[in-house]
């Protein structure tokens, strides 16, 4: 596992873009596919892509990792269209995406989830519909028992490399718990913190803006 600790937001953005550049240099044939999350954590990274589209190799296809199924809205799809409108032709939204991707940018949820692979779901979860936990619904201001669709840990572990993007001191404690669960390898504890399964990946990088 690689651990990149950045001093500020600018350095964090540069580190994430450097990771992506390194992956894009080493893969053939092209095009290749990259899992991307919605949310506040990656927003500065996407701003850098919007301002400098050449940062993202033209052969990269962007694969949405999850979506909220509430009424007929698709808020995460809207997020991407707002943040990265020029990349729309390259997007595979989750309702039309093929299965899987070559690489993954992922975020870390406050309860240890990745995408919407929530605590209690098994490691073998690849993709599908699920019910969000009460904790996630509360954080996203959604009604209880909201449904979602998501890729899961099993899909991410099949990629060639993963970068877990963690930003903000509010994520420090949950990241510590994830690292501890990954080190202990106690299955019952890891199921409570799905992000800990990512630590088994041989090409796993964590990119933070704080020291753990």
Q: Compute the distance between CA of residue 112 and CA of residue 108 in angstroms, rounded to an integer.
A: 6
Sign of CA dihedral 41, 44, 45, 49: positive
- pLDDT at position 127, please? 94
* Residue 144 pLDDT exceeds 80: yes
Token pair recorded at residue 38: 């919605």
- Displacement of CA 73 from its chain's centroid (Å): 21
Q: Which domains does the chain have, with CATH numbers?
A: 2-208 (3.40.50.1360)
Nearest-angstrom CA–CA distance, 48 and 62: 16
For the entire predicted model, the pTM comes to 0.95
CB 191 within 8 A of CB 125: no
75-117 confidence digits (pLDDT tens): 999 999 999 999 999 999 998 767 789 999 999 999 999 999 9
Q: pLDDT grade, residue 184 (50/70/90)? A: confident
pLDDT cut 90: percent of the chain above it: 85
pLDDT digits (tens, 9 = 90+) for 113-143: 999 999 989 999 999 999 999 999 999 999 9
Q: Which residues pair with 128 in a beta bridge?
A: 150
Please tell me the predicted confidence (pLDDT) of residue 72. Answer: 80
What is the b/e burial string over 52-65, where b = at least 16 CB atoms within 10 angstroms of the residue's CB? eeebbbeebbbbbb
pLDDT score, position 95? 82
pLDDT in tens, 27-52: 766 788 999 999 999 999 999 999 99
Say if residue 29 is preceded by a cis peptide, omega within 30 of 0: yes
Question: For position 137, what pLDDT does the model report?
Answer: 95
Tell me which long-range contacts 186-191 makes (C-beta under 8 A, separation of at least 24): 190/123, 191/119, 191/120, 191/121, 191/122, 191/123
Rounded to whole angstroms, the Cα distance separating 81 from 65 reads 15
Q: How many residues does the chain have?
A: 212
Cis peptide bond upstream of 31, omega within 30: yes
Q: Which residues contact 17 (CB under 8 A, 6 or more apart)?
A: 45, 48, 55
**DSSP state string for 151-205:** E-HHHHHTSSEEEEEE-SGGGHHHHHHHHHHHHHT-HHHHHHSGGGGGGGSTTEE
Question: Is-contact 159 34, C-beta < 8 A?
Answer: no
């Amino acid at each position: 596992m690689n651990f990149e600790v950045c001093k500020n937001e600018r350095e964090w953005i540069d580190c994430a873009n450097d990771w992506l550049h390194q992956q894009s240099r080493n893969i053939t044939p092209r095009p290749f596919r990259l899992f991307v999350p919605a949310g506040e954590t990656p927003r500065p990274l996407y701003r850098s892509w919007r301002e400098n589209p050449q940062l993202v190799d033209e052969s990269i296809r962007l694969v949405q990792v999850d979506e909220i199924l509430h009424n007929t809205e698709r808020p995460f799809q809207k997020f991407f269209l707002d943040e990265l409108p020029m990349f729309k032709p390259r997007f595979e939204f989750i309702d039309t995406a093929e299965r899987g991707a070559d690489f993954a940018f992922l975020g870390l949820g406050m309860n240890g989830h990745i995408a919407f692979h929530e605590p209690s779901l098994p490691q073998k979860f690849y993709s599908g519909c699920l019910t969000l936990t009460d904790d996630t619904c509360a954080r996203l201001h959604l009604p209880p028992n909201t449904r979602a669709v998501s890729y899961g840990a099993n899909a991410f572990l099949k990629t060639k490399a993963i970068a877990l993007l963690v930003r903000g001191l509010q994520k420090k404690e949950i990241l510590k718990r994830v690292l501890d669960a990954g080190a202990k390898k106690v299955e019952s504890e890891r199921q409570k913190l799905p992000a800990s399964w990512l630590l088994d990946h041989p090409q796993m990088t964590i990119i933070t803006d704080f020291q753990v």
